[in-house]
């Protein structure tokens, strides 16, 4: 005779684990990580095979930078899942990456892609890891796959643009940065800064080849992108919603904007329009009066036009700033 199973008690046990797991997930979402972990612990005490609890707990440990314990939890979950869970593999890839275990991380990401090749963030992260290993071709392929899955994944466009610009393909890079500008505001400002830098290089190339009209158009557009991006990034920083990348781009504004003034002034001079050249350097001196090179350039332009008294004043400012450096 087969032993009787207490079905009612079993179902009650399963339901209790489910409620603990769900409540833990709710607490995690609300920011109560301690409460969430306690609920996952209670659920696992009743059912040590609750893989969702293990995965969620591992992600909390990852956020707390407790990588060793996070790795233990996610590997436990993967063992129960026979290594066939793409999300768990993705989390393990992140944990390994944080510990500098790049080769293991890449292997795990690749296995996760095999199981679920439609995860944009997964493909993006694998692209980053491949790039760090020097596999530019593989990196670019993963970014292309990322945007084929999610056409608004701005970070992939930024990285593709950077790779293409580095290889000298400015035209294709420009397309990528323009696509990035159409994405979220955070990515938009990054795209604007990167596109401005590309257009500065383009303007220099055009000026060197003698195409001053197109060089002028390129550097004017580069200047406008910077001027439009700065209030956006300043607002995020003021509201406390910025990150380290925002601070980095904000710090780049001044030297990039000064360079735009210099290039446009030089292009105007090359076109023989000394009045516009003088105006450009005057604007630059008003916006950035602490940059010695601007006063030196303005002094030279004034000399060429025979405005010797003003030129001497600018030269004196240049020398005074140089002495402070």
- Digits of tens for pLDDT over the chain (325 positions)? 445 444 344 344 567 778 888 898 899 999 999 999 999 999 898 899 999 999 999 999 999 999 999 999 999 999 999 999 999 999 999 999 999 999 999 999 999 999 988 999 999 999 999 999 899 999 999 999 999 999 999 999 999 999 999 999 999 999 999 999 999 887 999 999 999 999 999 999 999 999 999 999 999 999 999 999 999 988 888 887 657 788 888 999 999 999 999 999 999 999 999 999 999 999 999 999 999 999 999 999 999 999 999 999 999 999 999 988 7
Helix, strand, coil abundance in the chain, percent, nearest 5 = 80, 0, 20
What is the pTM for the complete model shown? 0.80
Residue 184: both structure tokens together: 């979220």
1 within 8 A of 23, measured Cβ to Cβ = no
- Residue 161 CA to residue 314 CA, distance in Å, equals 40
Asked whether the CA dihedral 279, 285, 286, 288 is positive or negative, the reply is positive
- Residue 105 CA to residue 166 CA, distance in Å, equals 26
- Residue 30 CA to residue 235 CA, distance in Å, equals 26
Residue 79: both structure tokens together: 């063992």
């Amino acid at each position: 005779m087969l032993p009787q199973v207490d079905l009612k008690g079993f179902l009650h046990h399963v339901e209790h684990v489910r409620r603990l797991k769900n409540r833990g997930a709710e607490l995690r979402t609300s920011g109560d990580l301690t409460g969430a972990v306690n609920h996952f612990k209670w659920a696992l005490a009743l059912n040590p095979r609750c893989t969702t609890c293990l995965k969620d707990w591992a992600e909390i440990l990852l956020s707390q930078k407790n990588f060793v314990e996070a790795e233990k939890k996610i590997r436990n979950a993967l063992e129960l899942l026979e290594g066939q869970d793409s999300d768990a593999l993705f989390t393990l890839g992140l944990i390994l990456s944080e510990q500098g275990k790049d080769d293991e991380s890449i292997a795990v990401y690749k296995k996760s892609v095999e199981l679920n090749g439609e995860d944009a963030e997964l493909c993006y992260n694998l692209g980053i890891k491949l790039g760090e290993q020097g596999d530019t071709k593989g990196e670019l392929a993963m970014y292309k796959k990322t945007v084929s899955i999610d056409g608004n994944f701005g970070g992939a466009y930024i990285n593709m643009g950077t790779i293409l610009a580095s290889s000298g393909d400015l035209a294709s890079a420009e397309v990528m940065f323009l696509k990035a500008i159409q994405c979220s505001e955070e990515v938009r400002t990054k795209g604007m800064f990167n596109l401005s830098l590309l257009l500065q290089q383009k303007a220099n190339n055009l000026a060197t080849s003698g195409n001053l009209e197109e060089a002028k158009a390129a550097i004017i557009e580069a200047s406008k992108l910077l001027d439009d991006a700065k209030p956006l990034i300043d607002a995020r920083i003021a509201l406390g919603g910025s990150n380290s990348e925002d601070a980095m781009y904000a710090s780049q504004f001044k030297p990039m904007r000064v360079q735009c003034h210099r290039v446009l002034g030089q292009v105007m001079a090359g076109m023989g329009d000394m009045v516009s050249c003088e105006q450009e350097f005057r604007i630059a001196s008003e916006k950035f009066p602490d940059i010695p090179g601007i006063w030196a350039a303005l002094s030279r332009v004034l000399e060429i036009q025979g405005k010797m008294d003003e030129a001497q004043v600018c030269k004196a400012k240049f020398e005074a700033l140089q002495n402070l450096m």
